Amino acid sequence: MKTKPNKYVSKAYGTEPSLDNLAESNDPAWDFYKAVSWYRTNPTATKKEKKWVMDYVTKTLGKKEANNYLNGTTFQYDFISCYCRAASRIPDGVDIPVEHKKTIDKFLKQIKEDTSRKKVDRIKSKATTPTNTKTIQERIVEQVSEYIGDIEQKMDDVLDGIVSRKEINFDTIGWLKGHEVKSMQSKMVAEYLEKTYCDEIRELITGDCPQLKEGYDYMTRPQQKKWLKSIEQIIKDCYEHGRTAVKPRKFRKRKIKTPEQLVSKMKYEKNNEEYKLVSIRPEDIIGASKLIVFNTKYRQLTIYHAKDLSGLSVKGSTLQNFSSDQSETRRLRKPHAMLQEALKGIRAFNRAWGTLKTKSTKPTGRINDNTIILKAVT
């Protein structure tokens, strides 16, 4: 199904470029690169990118040799697909400009090496692993791989919708329930997606990697942020399903505790007259990504960061699942001014937090009778 051309992109970049007269061009390298840029700004379905690369390999190296380029990474196919599409527009007998041919050959070499390595790994795996017996762990990994493949297809549909500005939603929890995905398998899926996709997209948005920026330059910055938000929501749903889909053993009926039950024994300071502070509901801590607390006795302000997308939790009066590396505690010299900034919002808090000069220490996670729970950020 063909997508309707974006009128704004067409106005800015024109229609699909023709390279029929590349041989007579005064600057063939520039004309070729303009065609590559046009294809980057006019993406279609992401599933076709590998096909464009394989069509180019089949045409230039032959069908038999093309089998050695089947198992590259998604990023490798994404990066050179536009080059291969532009190359397919060049008339027979006309060579690709040298500098662009080097780029294509460089990535094809990487794809061939990855394909060869994976082939060797498969052969070694077959040689060392008995064919008739599989352990429980191997069966779980195999099943999780199938789930990941199906979810990645759904994620491709969501990405296509973001790029084409169409609203495509994926009911992750409904899908997991429909396929009867178990708790442990759901958590394994979440950990894989978080490691594989989130880190890369976060680096794309916040970092300066030129290859990532070029590989994703068919997406605008708002689209990149929306894509990251969609991935994070899918991962959160997987963690949530993993937490709620636990089936207790028959000999021990174990109920999943509600947020109210988790914080029922927590000791904290409900309000403080000196600083005119009131604690939020402790139930809001469960699942939060950040938590700000203030110890009124020692004037210590602490920000906790969740270790992963499943968020913070509580056991007794101690926080669980927080990152000890990212979380910090600082003593306030002028607590009134800082506390006012903390109550405004997380951005105001971050700005004010950066101005503090007192020594930073690692928090323990303990909440006591002198602790005001200021803010929980989901």
- How would DSSP label each residue in 336-347? HHHHHHHHH-HH
Same domain, 142 and 219: yes
Predicted local confidence at residue 357, as pLDDT: 87
Same domain, 86 and 13: yes
Q: How many domains does the chain have?
A: 3
Same domain, 270 and 295: yes
Tokens matching residue 20: 């029929």
Same domain, 237 and 156: yes
Same domain, 293 and 326: yes
Q: Write down the pTM of the prediction.
A: 0.38
Domain-located, residue 141: yes
Predicted local confidence at residue 361, as pLDDT: 92
Predicted local confidence at residue 64, as pLDDT: 86
Predicted local confidence at residue 321, as pLDDT: 92
Same domain, 33 and 121: yes
Domain-located, residue 41: yes
Predicted local confidence at residue 169, as pLDDT: 83
Predicted local confidence at residue 121, as pLDDT: 83
Same domain, 229 and 279: no
Q: Torsions phi, psi of 374, nearest 5?
A: -80, -55
Predicted local confidence at residue 252, as pLDDT: 66
Classify 359 as helix, strand or coil. coil
CA distance 253 to 251: 7
Helix (H) or strand (E) holding 200: helix 199-206
Domain ranges, residue 358: 259-377
Domain-located, residue 20: yes
Domain-located, residue 253: no
Among the three residues 192, 217, 244, which one is the final residue of a domain in this structure?
A: 244
Among the three residues 217, 244, 271, which one is the final residue of a domain in this structure?
A: 244
Domain-located, residue 250: no
Same domain, 307 and 323: yes
Domain-located, residue 252: no
Predicted local confidence at residue 199, as pLDDT: 80
> Along the chain (378 residues), what's the average pLDDT of each consecutive run of 10 residues?
52 70 81 82 69 86 86 83 84 84 88 87 74 77 89 87 84 88 89 86 82 83 88 90 72 78 91 90 92 92 92 92 92 87 84 88 92 90
Same domain, 274 and 314: yes
Residue 79 sits at the vertex; the CA angle it makes with 75 and 80, to the nearest 5 degrees, is 125
DSSP string spanning 236-281? HHHHHHHHH-----TTS--PPPPHHHHTTT-----EETTTTEE---
Same domain, 117 and 150: no
Among the three residues 244, 271, 287, which one is the final residue of a domain in this structure?
A: 244
Domain-located, residue 2: no
Same domain, 148 and 48: no
Domain-located, residue 254: no
Same domain, 209 and 279: no
